[in-house]
Amino acid sequence: MSRYQTRFQTREHAGTELAWALRAYQGTGALVLAIPRGGVPVGRIVADALGADFDLAMARRIAPGVALDDAGTTWRTGADDACNEAEDQRDALLDELRRQRAVYTPLRQHCDPHARVVIVVDDGLVSGATMFAALARLRKRHPARIVCALPVAARAGLERIRALADEVVCLDTPERIASLAHYYREFQLVSDDRVRQLLARAPAQAGQGAGQRAGAGLPALSAAVQVPYGSGWLPAMLESGPEPVGVVLMAYAGGAQRRSARSHYLARKLRARGFATMLVDLRPESRDDDGPASDLDDLAARLQQTLDFLRARTPFSRLPAGLLSTGSAAAAAVREAAANPERLGAMAFVAGRADLSGGAALRELETPVLLMCASGDPESIRVNDLAFGQMHGPRQLRLIPTNGRSFEDCPALASIASLTADWFEQLLPATPPAVLAYDAH
């Protein structure tokens, strides 16, 4: 077993966690500066989540304890022999830094940090030399406040840069770091093309003016995450193509292994229609598909925590949200949507037990609901018809042609995927209401 604990799946995952830690700066007009190249995927996620402008902080380590900025200044935090060695490389590396700046941002004006809150981001810090150079250069341009934000940093290196920042936000501070790659499950080289792609949308479109699509600027993402609940965790999977139009929370209550193939099929179909997806098992400790009705309060609390996580700790905080569920998880969804109607734009239930939520919740429900049940399952038809009759809000009840009581055959699954995607496309607004913004709690 490795002696290193992987904290982050990808740089994008690290950016998501970092954005949550920086949530106090959302909507403040902050400027996010990323150190290329590894800091750019992290910074892009942070900037989009905070609604901030996005640009580069050009600096490069040239020897242990020595770094160079694009103004040509050499910054030293190491020993004299390292500094002398670095001088021999200075001119060549300065040319390289300026070439990179020209390649990355050839056609736009750079963001001015003067009198602004500036958040400087990288994918990690070992010696601190590169971040030291970036912060020292930035300090000369008189920002109102400098925040240094890092997913992981060695303690000694972090101490070297504290005096240059007004605030340091770091998610993990091990005693030593031999390689940043040990703290990421995927740590591939970030290419110049990737940097240009992420910068092409900057300054950030996440300011979200009227009529602007909330998902503009979001990159593709695939990350396994853990939703905190009580003393444990709920396993979840976040996936999205670039620039999603909305996000669908796919919530189940136990039996995840048996449902795995069907769930991932539906998720793929939703992503093909432009939606991000978040699959979560609300009851991972259970092998049964659904728990008893007596557990519904706990299930609703788990769903509420998952929605809080989706809104506060993922890049999808500004996207209009829908929910796809089944069994007793559908009853928990009805209770949550009835109590907090602004959180979800639409819901879809496959063989759901919405009837278990109780008459009061069903009557109060305003969120549009699509109810789907198998044509060969009389009991499912009965309970869904019962729930449908007690609802007063927009709803549809659709029978899916099946060979029996289940949805395992391909035509049935294809019907569910098509109906669900059509439902969300019709009902999730292009611009979500302000209450769906990044949760500060």
pLDDT of res. 203: 46
CA distance 364 to 115: 49
The helix, strand and coil proportions of the chain, stated in percent and rounded to the nearest 5, come to: 40, 20, 40
pLDDT of res. 208: 42
Please answer whether residues 136 and 168 qualify as being in contact, where contact means their C-beta atoms are separated by less than 8 angstroms: no
pLDDT of res. 366: 93
Q: What is the DSSP letter of 409?
A: S
| CATH superfamily of the 221-436 domain | Alpha/Beta hydrolase fold, catalytic domain (3.40.50.1820)
Kindly report the CA angle at 19 between 26 and 165, in degrees rounded to 5?
85
Please name the residue ranges forming H helices in 150-201.
155-161, 192-199
pLDDT of res. 418: 92
Tokens of 91: 């001119």
Tokens of 249: 């929370």
pLDDT of res. 202: 46
Residue range 11-207 forms a domain whose CATH class is alpha beta
CA distance 297 to 287: 19
pLDDT of res. 62: 63
pLDDT of res. 386: 94
CA distance 55 to 43: 9
Q: Decide: helix, strand or coil at residue 78.
A: coil
Rg over CA atoms, the chain: 24
Q: How far apart are the first and last CA of the chain?
A: 37
Tokens of 403: 């060979």
CA distance 77 to 85: 14
CA distance 177 to 174: 7
Kindly report the CA angle at 323 between 361 and 8, in degrees rounded to 5?
130
CA distance 187 to 6: 11
- Give CATH 3.40.50.2020 domain extents, the chain: 11-207
Nearest Cα residue to 94 out of 43, 44, 59, 145: 59
Q: Give the pLDDT means over successive 10-residue stretches in the chain (441 positions).
A: 62 88 90 93 91 87 63 56 53 66 64 93 93 90 95 93 94 92 89 83 43 60 84 87 91 68 88 93 71 76 92 85 94 94 93 93 94 90 94 91 72 90 85 36 29
**pTM of model > 0.85:** no
- Give CATH 3.40.50.1820 domain extents, the chain: 221-436
Residues in the chain, total: 441
